[in-house]
Amino acid sequence: MVAQERSDAMTHATGVYLTAYARLLRSIVLCVISLVWLLPTLGVFISSIRPRAAVAATGWWTVFTRLDVTFRLQNYHEVITTHAFGRYFVNSFVITVPSTLLPIAVASLGAYAFGCLKFRGRNAVFLALIALMVVPLQVAWVPVLQVYVRLGLANTFPGLWLAHTSFVLAFATFMFRNFFVAIPKDLFDCARIEGAGEFAIYSRIVMPISMPVVASFFIFQFMWVWNELMNALIFLQHPRKYPLTVAIRGLLSQYGSEWYLLAAGSFVLMSMPLLVFFVFQRFFTYGVTAGAAKG
């Protein structure tokens, strides 16, 4: 009831006055759109908990009309143990966390320079960073891999962490800098009069009040790296080091028609981003809108 009243109030505020017919039409269109966006994922989810024989014999949608439906978690058990998705899950985690924390440290320092300090060449360099956000990674992969092979960084987690960090830096610096420039100048002046050094101002004043943007970036980058396939595919060669995205591609080439297995594997991959999304929803609008500029 309350929700209904509130929505009526909002309707009036927007100046939208709809006839009963138009209201119905609007609800129908929204319903259809929701179904189109929900069903593909729902189908994979249902298949991930149906027995193998059932998945091969009948469509997932039949669970809504049949009475003899059984669900089970054995597909997950199989993909996690027999196909080592447990290890790949850990790998994804080991790859993602440093690849998320490192750019926060490096980019926030840079953003402090571009947003809070004045130095010669600042604007030109910052504009170059904005241009670099557009550069496709295709121009970087081969030369970086060549150097990695020589330095022994190919096929290592630190190599991948550094690649993920460097590829997101221009964007991260841009995002943090836009937040930093909005901090009132008085704050800096006071601290400088008190005799605080620039690093102290950065670490004790700027960073603590910038937690909203740090959190948004953290979530954005965490999901980006977790979901990322190409860097891992190019820089890691050893199957023991694969993250879930690479592993599921392997599963696809070996068991391309075993949908009970692929469905469970996909949901192991999707579980983390979905969890993060539902827990931290409020950071998302900001993250997505800001994250847009990144490639």
Partner 1 sequence: MGTVSNNTRGWLFAAPVLLLVTLYLVIPTLWTVYFSFFTGGFQPDRFIGFENFRRLFTRDRLFLDLSGFPWSGALLNNILWLVFLPAGAIAFGMTIAVLADAHPWERVIKVIVFVPIVVSNTATAIIFRFLYNMNPRIGFLNAVLTSLGFKPRPWLSSREYVTFALIAAAVWIWTAFAMTVFSATYKALDKDTLQAATVDGAGEWQKFWLISLPMMAHAVSFVFITIFIQTIKIVDLVLVATDGGPAGASRIIGFSFYWETFQNLDVGYGSAIAVVMLVILLPVMVLQVRRFKAEEQ
* One character per residue 253-272, x = contact with partner 1 (rule: CB under 8 A): ------x--xx--x--xx--
Q: Which of 64, 70, 119, 152 binds partner 1 (CB under 8 A)?
A: 119
- Closest distance to partner 1 from the beta carbon of 168 (Å): 10
Q: Which of 248, 261, 264, 283 binds partner 1 (CB under 8 A)?
A: 248
Q: How many CA atoms lie within 13 A of 268 on its CB side?
A: 32
Q: Which of 69, 72, 74, 146 binds partner 1 (CB under 8 A)?
A: 146
Q: Which of 156, 188, 227, 255 binds partner 1 (CB under 8 A)?
A: 227
Number of residues counted as binding partner 1 (CB under 8 A): 108
d(CA 285, CA 56): 39
d(CA 142, CA 234): 9
Site for partner 1 in 180-219 (CB under 8 A): 198, 202
Closest CA to 114 of 188, 45, 28, 175: 175
Site for partner 1 in 147-176 (CB under 8 A): 149, 162-163, 165-167, 169-170, 173
Q: Which of 69, 73, 209, 229 binds partner 1 (CB under 8 A)?
A: 229
* One character per residue 16-55, x = contact with partner 1 (rule: CB under 8 A): xxx---x---xx-xx--xx-xxxxxx-xx--x-------x
Complex with partner 1: residue 85 or 110, whichever CB lies closer? 110
Q: Which of 134, 151, 200, 211 binds partner 1 (CB under 8 A)?
A: 134
DSSP 19-67: -HHHHHHHHHHHHHHHHHHHHHHHHHHHHHTS-HHHHHHS-GGGGGT-S
Q: Which of 136, 184, 195, 208 binds partner 1 (CB under 8 A)?
A: 136
Q: Does 139 sit near partner 1 (CB under 8 A)?
A: yes
DSSP 108-142: HHHHHHHHH---TTHHHHHHHHHHHTTS-GGGTHH
**Long-range contact set of residues 253-261: C-beta below 8 Å, sequence gap at least 24:** 258/52, 259/47, 259/55, 259/56, 260/47, 260/48, 260/50, 260/51, 260/52, 260/55, 260/56, 260/75, 261/52, 261/75, 261/78, 261/79, 261/83
Site for partner 1 in 54-113 (CB under 8 A): 55-61, 106-107, 109-110, 112-113
